[in-house]
C-alpha cells in the first residue's frame, strides 16, 4: 500500500461552538498552531448544513448547543455515508464518563473537556487526522 503525503496543517477543520468567546479562542488557537483551513458555525444544524456544501476533514463539536445539540449532530454525521469518514472530536463542558462513552460509541474519534489544553488539543487533532488518513488509504487500497 502506498500512502500519499499527509499534511495535517492543510486539513479542513470545522469548529462547532455556540459560545462566541470559546469559538474565537478555538479559532485563534488553531490559526496559531498553523492549521490553514478553519471555519466555524454556531450549532449542530449549521454544522450539517455546512458539511453538505463544503468538504471537511475534522469537526470539533460541542454538545450543549441550541437547535441541534452535539449528540444529535454526531449521530447524523455518522449515519450519513457521505460524512461518516469525517473525524469528530467532542470539545465540551459536559465532563462525565457516560457522555464520553456515548460519544465514542456513536463514532466520535476523541473527547476533550473544556477549557482545553491547547497542546493536547493539537495532539488530538493531528492524531485523529492521521487515523482518518490511514483508514481512507486502507479503504482505497481494498477497493482497487
We report the CATH number of the domain holding residue 55 as 3.40.50.2300
Q: Is the pLDDT of residue 3 over 70?
A: no
The count of residues in the chain is: 144
d(CA 46, CA 44): 5
Compute how many other C-beta atoms are within 10 angstroms of the C-beta atom of residue 18: 18
Q: Is the pLDDT of residue 5 over 60?
A: yes
Domain presence at residue 3: no
Domain presence at residue 17: yes
Helices 70-79 + 44-53 axis angle, to 10: 30
- Count of domains in the chain? 1
pTM of full prediction above 0.85: yes
Domain presence at residue 2: no
3-class SS of residue 2: coil
Domain presence at residue 38: yes
User: Would you place residue 114 in the very low, low, confident or very high pLDDT band (cuts 50, 70, 90)?
Assistant: confident
Average pLDDT of the residues of the chain: 91
User: Would you place residue 112 in the very low, low, confident or very high pLDDT band (cuts 50, 70, 90)?
Assistant: very high
Of 35-39, 75-79, 102-106, 140-144, least confident by mean pLDDT is: 140-144
Which residue range(s) make up the domain with 50?
8-143
33-84 confidence digits (pLDDT tens): 999 999 999 999 999 999 999 999 999 999 999 999 999 999 999 999 999 8
Amino acid at each position: 500500500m502506498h500512502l500519499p503525503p499527509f499534511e495535517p496543517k492543510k486539513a479542513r477543520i470545522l469548529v462547532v461552538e455556540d459560545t462566541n468567546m470559546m469559538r474565537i479562542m478555538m479559532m485563534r488557537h488553531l490559526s496559531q498552531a498553523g492549521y490553514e483551513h478553519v471555519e466555524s458555525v454556531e450549532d449542530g444544524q449549521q454544522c450539517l448544513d455546512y458539511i453538505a456544501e463544503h468538504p471537511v476533514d475534522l469537526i470539533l463539536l460541542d454538545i450543549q448547543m441550541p437547535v441541534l445539540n452535539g449528540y444529535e449532530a454526531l449521530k447524523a454525521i455518522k449515519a450519513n455515508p457521505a460524512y461518516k469518514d469525517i473525524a469528530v472530536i467532542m470539545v465540551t463542558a459536559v465532563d462525565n464518563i457516560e457522555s464520553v462513552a456515548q460519544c465514542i460509541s456513536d463514532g466520535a474519534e476523541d473527547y476533550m473537556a473544556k477549557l482545553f489544553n491547547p497542546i493536547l488539543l493539537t495532539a488530538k487533532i493531528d492524531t485523529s487526522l492521521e487515523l482518518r488518513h490511514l483508514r481512507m488509504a486502507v479503504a482505497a487500497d481494498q477497493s482497487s
